[in-house]
Amino acid sequence: MSEIKTSMNLDPYERNWIIISIVLAVIFAIIIAVAGFAYGIQVPSPEQRVDPRTVALEGPWADPGLRELAPGKYDAYILAQTWSFVPREMTVPVGAEVTFYITSKDVQHGLKLQDTNLNVQVVPGQVSKLTITFDEPGDYDYICTEYCGAAHAVMFGTLHVEE
């Protein structure tokens, strides 16, 4: 009967690189977890499903834009469509907490709100939701981050945060 080996018979050089790789993977996982909690990173999740063929005709999507729920608290409904965001401009006061609801009625788009951590893939039929508080005044441009056709470069908008 053959002898059962209890060792993997690894070369010491190879074993050291395996250990280094495992240690680095653990360090990276810890860094990502700490950064996610410390900086309030939110993973966009599907809030609801809508019919992309009729989304612009019903509910808040028939008239997308900003809705004030209470002083300093807003819902922003943004509809992405070929080469434009509706609405193209919105204005909120400093300190406003804005919950963004974003969907597309035609093709896949992306929405990146500059100087924030809002970056969402906008999929037809899916409403994505993220909440941000704006503590600094200024203009926050939002752009499409997924190529959506010939005029993709003109697909943008602005959120104005005023004193």
Q: Any idea where the domains of the chain sit in the sequence? A: 45-162
Q: How far apart are CA 146 and CA 150, in angstroms?
A: 12
| pLDDT confidence of residue 5 | 52
DSSP letter for 3, please. P
In tens, the pLDDT along 137-163 reads: 999 999 999 998 888 989 999 999 998
At 38, is the pLDDT very low, low, confident or very high (cuts 50, 70, 90)? confident
Superfamily of domain 45-162: Cupredoxins -  blue copper proteins (2.60.40.420)
Residue 78, beta-bridge partner list: 102
Gap between the Cα atoms of 103 and 55, Å rounded = 9
pTM of the predicted model as reported, rounded to 2 decimal places: 0.75
- The C-alpha atoms of residue 148 and residue 114 are separated, in whole angstroms, by 19
State yes or no: pLDDT of 6 exceeds 60: no
Predicted confidence at residue 69, as pLDDT, reads: 94
Q: What is the pLDDT of residues 13-33, one digit of tens each?
A: 898 999 999 999 999 999 888
